[in-house]
């Protein structure tokens, strides 16, 4: 009888088949785990992005105002303000406690004269901060001097924040104090007679913030000659005095021709003119000193 030899290549349900099954499930679990972990990581990342977007990134807001010679800084925020730092130009910081308020105002920052930059840093309770700066212009105290009629010096002191008083004196004379009027304390005006010759005028102005400005100026007092006319018997007496010296005296009586008298620098000069039997006349005398300053005096019915 013929027999067929079996080679063993057919189906088998032995150990080899079980190993294959186990390998398949292991790979499937690994793939599923990777997918699950990936999905979880993405979810965590997505939630982190959403949470981060909900974080409040606001910082304090800083606003500036000016009132007279004071700068006003207002800091507002939706959180408590921890502290505020400020300085002018390149000066050192001044630090102020914000008391954890959501609105904090600094209204007593004195502005220096001229144009200056105020730098401000506001820091909140979470140490988040904002920085801002502003240029303030303040003229400060002003003192102006002007000569009136070669005889008087007009002093004008002003300050937009208000003046308390001014003091002034000539040379080493006694000091004089002047105050503003009650209706307007931003300006003080004072007129003082200029002494003859070269003099030094010293002025100090003090504002309501107790800031001061001192100004000194050399002024030459040039006064016109003093002219006196009077009658003595039948004569017109002309007397001229001037501390700088008298140069010329011009005389015009009625319709007569003008007469020029040389005084040659004399500090006192007088003469008389016969007006006997002459009534209703007009006399014009012009005296000029060596500085070129003149004074004219007219008289009638001498």
pLDDT in tens, 74-102: 999 999 999 999 999 999 999 999 999 99
| CA–CA separation, 159 and 140 (whole Å) | 6
Average pLDDT score, the chain: 84
Say how many CA atoms lie within 13 Å of 195 toward its Cβ: 11
Query: Poorest-confidence range of 54-63, 164-173, 189-198, 265-274?
Result: 54-63
The alpha-carbon radius of gyration of the chain (Å, integer) is 49
pLDDT in tens, 253-301: 888 889 999 999 999 999 998 888 777 788 999 999 998 889 999 987 6
What is the span of the domain harbouring residue 270?
226-300
Strand positions, DSSP E, 125-183: 129-138, 142-148, 152-158, 163-170, 176-178
Classify 175 as helix, strand or coil. coil
**Last-in-domain residue among 221, 238, 263:** 221
Q: What is the pTM of this model?
A: 0.49
- The encoded tokens of residue 253 equal 């009586």
Strand positions, DSSP E, the chain: 61-67, 70-88, 94-110, 114-124, 129-138, 142-148, 152-158, 163-170, 176-178, 187-193, 197-207, 212-221, 226-232, 235-253, 259-274, 282-289, 294-300
Q: What is the CATH classification number for the domain harbouring 204?
A: 2.60.40.10
For the chain, the domain total comes to 3
| CA–CA separation, 263 and 177 (whole Å) | 41
Q: Work out the burial of residue 60: count CB atoms within 10 Å of its CB; fewer than 13 is exposed, 13-18 middle, 19 or more buried.
A: buried
Residue 28 included in any domain: no
pLDDT in tens, 127-180: 999 999 999 988 788 898 998 877 899 999 999 889 999 999 999 999 999 999
Contact 205, 166 (CB under 8 A): yes
Residue 214 included in any domain: yes
In this model, does residue 61 exceed pLDDT 80? yes
Q: How many CB atoms lie within 10 A of CB 263?
A: 22
Residue 95 shares a structural domain with residue 151: no
Residues counted in the chain = 302
Contact 284, 227 (CB under 8 A): no
Residue 150 shares a structural domain with residue 127: no
Residue 289 shares a structural domain with residue 232: yes
| CA–CA separation, 257 and 285 (whole Å) | 13
Residue 91 shares a structural domain with residue 153: no
| CA–CA separation, 118 and 129 (whole Å) | 17
| CA–CA separation, 117 and 111 (whole Å) | 9
Q: Which residues are CB-neighbours of 110 under 8 A, at least 6 positions away? A: 69, 70, 71, 209, 211
Band (pLDDT 50/70/90 cuts) for residue 34 is low
Classify 55 as helix, strand or coil. coil
Return the exposure string of 207-225: e unless at least 16 CB atoms fall within 10 Å of the residue's CB, then b: bebebebebeeebebbbbb
Residue 22 included in any domain: no
**Last-in-domain residue among 100, 120, 138:** 138
- The encoded tokens of residue 98 equal 């914000």
pLDDT score of 222: 77
Mean pLDDT calculated for residue range 210-233: 89
Residue 252 shares a structural domain with residue 230: yes
Residue 285 shares a structural domain with residue 246: yes
- The encoded tokens of residue 223 equal 């006064």
- The encoded tokens of residue 84 equal 């505020």
**How far, CA to CA in Å, does 223 sit from each of 35, 158, 271, 287, 294?**
109, 28, 22, 12, 9
Among 287, 158, 277, smallest CA distance to 213 is for 158
Residue 195 shares a structural domain with residue 252: no
């Amino acid at each position: 009888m013929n027999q067929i030899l079996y080679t063993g290549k057919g189906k088998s349900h032995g150990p080899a088949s079980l190993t294959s099954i186990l390998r398949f499930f292991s790979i499937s679990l690994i793939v599923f785990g990777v997918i699950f972990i990936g999905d979880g990581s993405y979810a965590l990342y997505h939630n982190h992005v959403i949470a981060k977007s909900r974080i409040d990134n606001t910082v304090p807001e800083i606003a500036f105002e000016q009132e007279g010679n004071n700068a006003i800084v207002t800091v507002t925020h939706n959180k408590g303000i921890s502290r505020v730092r400020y300085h002018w130009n390149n000066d050192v910081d001044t630090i102020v406690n914000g008391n954890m308020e959501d609105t904090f105002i600094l209204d007593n920052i004195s502005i220096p004269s001229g144009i200056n930059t105020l730098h401000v840093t506001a820091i909140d309770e979470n140490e988040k901060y904002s920085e801002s700066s502003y240029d303030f212009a303040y003229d400060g105290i002003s003192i102006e001097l002007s000569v009136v009629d070669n005889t008087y010096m007009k002093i004008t002191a002003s300050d937009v924040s208000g003046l308390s008083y001014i003091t002034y004196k000539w040379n080493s004379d006694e000091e004089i104090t002047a105050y503003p009027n009650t209706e307007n304390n931003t300006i003080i005006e004072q007129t003082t007679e200029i002494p003859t010759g070269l003099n030094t005028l010293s002025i100090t102005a003090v504002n309501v913030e107790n800031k001061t400005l001192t100004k000194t100026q050399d002024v030459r007092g040039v006064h016109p000659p003093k002219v006196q006319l009077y009658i003595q018997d039948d004569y017109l007496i002309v007397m001229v005095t001037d501390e700088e010296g008298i140069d010329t005296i011009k005389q015009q009586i009625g319709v007569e021709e003008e007469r020029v008298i040389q005084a040659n620098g004399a500090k006192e000069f007088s003469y008389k003119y016969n007006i006997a039997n002459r009534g209703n006349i007009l006399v014009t005398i012009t005296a000029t000193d060596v500085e070129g300053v003149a004074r004219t005096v007219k008289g009638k019915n001498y």
